Amino acid sequence: MLTVSARENTSTLPCGYKVDGTPGQIEAIRQVIDLFSLNKDQLTKIIAQFVDEMGKGLDHDGATVAMIPSFVPGKPTGKETGTYLALDLGGTNLRVCKVVLLGDGKYDIHQRKYVVSETLKRGKMHDLCDFIAECVGAFLSEQHTSTDSERLKLGFTFSFPIFQTSMNRGVLKQWTKGFACSGAVGKDAALMLQEALHKKHINVDIVAIVNDTVGTLMAHAYQEPDTMMGVIMGTGANISYCEKIANITKWKQQDHGSAEEMAINMECGAFDCERRVLPVTVYDQRIDRQSLNVHEQQHEKMIAGMYLGEITRQIMLDMIDRRLLFGGRSSSELNRQWSFDTAYMSTIEKDTSAKLLDTGHILESIMNIPSTALADRQMVKIITTCVGRRAARLHACGLAGVMTQTRKLDTACTIAVDGSLFEFYPNFEKNIMDALVEIYGPKMKDNVKFALSRDGSGLGAAVVAMMAHKHTQK
């Protein structure tokens, strides 16, 4: 319950929040806390809707939560060996990796990152594929890896919604996360890249097109075979999990050998585009309206690293316009879209100094706000905490939805997670766990185990390439 005493200068807000400000500032911040809070009833309702949407996606094509079968039958055992290449496109960088699977869940990985420029992200798909092929060529020369005698097998982590038709074929449905290359939607991304590699005489076969969530799941499963979910909490947000093939009622293919389960790339960032249950605020509406993919990826836009800083920025601007923050003054930096990186939020959340000096540094030295009072810094910290906490709680809803669907609420459940948000944002894991405990009780602390799976899209794509390769050899 909110108990705000509107004393003149200092007021204690819920959860230990404190603002040494005016009654107007305190009231405004109380409204933000309220707007970004999610109680148990709301969470429960969101989870129920999530499970419902999963059912629709398993039943038919074209559902909001697409539930895309990965075509990869089963999971690795950890005993497999071999050398495979992996490519990771779909976030902030392009990564090229060479992975040697050593068996016993062990592996060696060599990798290099390449920056994908904003021009390439929004240019022609052919140019992007040429660029990727060049990076692969440069990486192989650098690694002194010859493809003369044997064609290397590559797993391509392509983290966008695709209509997958086989292990290495997938037609792009739509771009997300700031990509918008022309000549790609409706085309097979693996085929286009394969052609670019071929043109440059790079003897590499793309044997699997892998979503980063599935990569994360398989990477961790190679080390711990009972891993249940692969989750991305980075630039974007998405989940994959192992579903019983019998439950994938839309799945008509027979070619899955003896496997009873298949990883499903949920594409759950699209959850509730209909806005039935998500607590979409005016700030979220602004983010959506100004995004490249309006009315799409509603869940992702409230929980993913790409957007959290931007939500925080929108709230700050609103407070500035109401003359409640920074004496009503903004800066050209703060006025620029995407200027407030989610990483700044981590620094602000970590700042426990009495004067909030690190927060002041970000606002004054990085965002160029002329000066900040302690109340300003306290307000920014509370705004940040509210946005971050809501994101973690909404992530928890997705995880709880999958645990409900797979009946894992009362058993051990290992969740592999990749992404800087999970890795670096203070208390993100704790906030997720708190939400799960609030809904299902303390057993969650014993049952649910989170594992950071940093090499998700590198090792994972290589593991999937290995599985695809072995499958075609059968």
Where on the chain is the footprint of Mg ion (CB under 5 A)? 91, 234
Q: How far apart are CA 116 and CA 102, in angstroms?
A: 31
Structure tokens belonging to residue 226: 């009972």
314 within 8 A of 287, measured Cβ to Cβ: yes
Shortest spacing between CB 309 and ligand ADP, in angstroms: 6
The residue type found at 360 is G
Structure tokens belonging to residue 107: 């592996």
Binding mask 83-102 for ligand ADP (x = CB under 6 A): --------xx----------
Question: In whole angstroms, what separates CA 453 from the centre of its chain?
Answer: 13
Shortest spacing between CB 225 and Mg ion, in angstroms: 23
Q: How far apart are CA 270 and CA 215, in angstroms?
A: 20
Q: Which is nearer to Mg ion, 215 or 398 (CB)?
A: 215
**Contact with ligand ADP (CB under 6 A) among 176, 238, 346, 406:** 346
Q: Which of ligand ADP, Mg ion, none sits in contact with 179, Cβ below 5 to 8 A by type?
A: none
| 164 binds ligand ADP, rule: CB under 6 A | no
Q: Which residues lie closer than 8 Å to 429 by C-beta, 6 or more apart?
A: 392, 422, 450
Shortest spacing between CB 235 and ligand ADP, in angstroms: 3
- Binding residues for ligand ADP, how many (CB under 6 A)? 15
Q: Which of ligand ADP, Mg ion, none sits in contact with 49, Cβ below 5 to 8 A by type?
A: none
DSSP string for 116-168: --HHHHTSBHHHHHHHHHHHHHHHHHHTT---SSSPEEEEEEE-S-EEEEETT
Question: Which of the ranges 73-81, 137-145, 317-325, 414-422 carries the binding residues for ligand ADP, by CB under 6 A?
Answer: 414-422
Scanning residues 180 to 239, which ones bind ligand ADP (CB under 6 A)?
A: 234-235
| 114 binds ligand ADP, rule: CB under 6 A | no
Going by C-alpha positions, the residue among 299, 306, 296, 313 that lies closest to residue 394 is: 299
Question: Which of the ranges 276-284, 317-325, 397-405, 421-429 carries the binding residues for ligand ADP, by CB under 6 A?
Answer: 421-429
Shortest spacing between CB 63 and ligand ADP, in angstroms: 24
| 372 binds ligand ADP, rule: CB under 6 A | no
Going by C-alpha positions, the residue among 110, 139, 86, 66 that lies closest to residue 464 is: 86
Shortest spacing between CB 298 and ligand ADP, in angstroms: 17
Burial readout 274-294 (b: 16 or more C-beta within 10 A, e: otherwise): eeebbeebebbebbbeebebe
Q: Interface residues with ligand ADP (CB under 6 A)?
A: 91-92, 234-235, 305-306, 341-343, 346, 419-421, 424-425
